[in-house]
Amino acid sequence: MKYFLLMVIFLTMQLSAVQTVELLGDKSYPPYSYIEDGKAKGIYVEIIQAAVDKIPEYDVKFRMIAWNRSIALLKKGKAFGFFPPYYSKERTKWTKFSEPILAERSNVYALTKTLNGKSNFPEDFFGLTICLNKGFTLMTGGLKMKNAIENKDLKLINGKNNKACLGRVFRGIADVYINDQLIDTSEFPEIKRGLIVAENFGHIGFTLKKDNYPYADDFEKKFNEVIKKMLRRGEINKILIKREVK
C-alpha cells in the first residue's frame, strides 16, 4: 500500500512537471499550416507535434491565427513562438530561428498565357505584378525577385492568403502568384504552376523577449536537437510522404 501511494505521488509530480508551450501557426497556409473544423492541421503541425512528443517534459498547444497577427504578438513578447517563417536577416531583429524543419520550393503560379515562353525568373516577368501573402518575406521568391521588386522591375501587391492571391491572378489584378509547390489551386483550374524560383526552409521563430518564458532556452535547445535527429533518421520525410499520399 505504501509503495502504491509513493508511485501515485511520483506520477502526479511527473505530470505536474510537464510544461505546456503555446505556438502560433499560420491559419491560412495549407497544406503546411491551417485550421479546419477548429483544429490545427498541416505538415508543420504534424512535424512539430512529433518532435515535442519526444521531449517528455513539454507539451505543445497550437493556436492558429492570421500570419501578421502572429508576427505582431511575437515582436511584443506576447507569444513564445510561431511557425513556419523563412529566415531573413531583417527578422533576426525580433525572432530567433529554430533549426530548419522543412525545405519548401516556391513556384510561379499564373495563367497559361502569362507562362508561355518564359523560362527565366524574374527577368522574363519584368513589368508584371506579383502577389504575395501578407507578411511573407520577399525572399519567398528568392534574392533575384527581392532585388527586382526593390528596383521596381516587378510590382508587388499582397493578399491575405493563398485563395486571395490566386483570385487576384484569376481576375487579372495580379499577373503572377509566388508560393509553395504544394498549395491547393483546385478552385482556380485556369491557374497553372510554372517555374521553381526558390527554395526556403520553414522554422519555428521564437520571441527574443523571453521574460515570460523561463523555459525558452531549454525548450529551444531540446527542440533543435530532436529536429536534427528526425532529419537524420528520415522521420520528417516520412511525414511529408504520408501527407502527399493522402
Predicted pLDDT at 16: 55
CATH number of 104-201: 3.40.190.10
Which residue spans of the chain are classified as CATH 3.40.190.10?
A: 19-101+203-245, 104-201
Phi-psi category of 127—alpha, beta or left, where left has phi over 0 and alpha has psi -120 to 50? left
Nearest to residue 104, comparing CAs of 233, 196, 28? 196
Q: Are 61 and 21 in contact (CB under 8 A)?
A: yes
- Rounded CA-CA distance 98/109 in Å is 29
Euclidean distance between the first and final Cα of the chain, in Å? Answer: 50
Tens-digit pLDDT profile for the chain (246 aa)?
A: 443 443 333 344 344 589 999 999 999 888 899 999 999 999 999 999 999 999 999 999 999 999 999 999 999 999 999 999 999 999 999 999 999 999 999 999 999 999 999 999 999 999 999 999 998 989 999 999 999 999 999 999 999 999 999 999 999 999 999 999 888 899 999 999 999 999 999 999 999 999 999 999 999 999 999 999 999 999 999 988 776 544
Q: For domain 19-101+203-245, which CATH number applies: 1.25.40.10, 3.40.50.720, 3.40.50.2300, 3.40.190.10?
A: 3.40.190.10
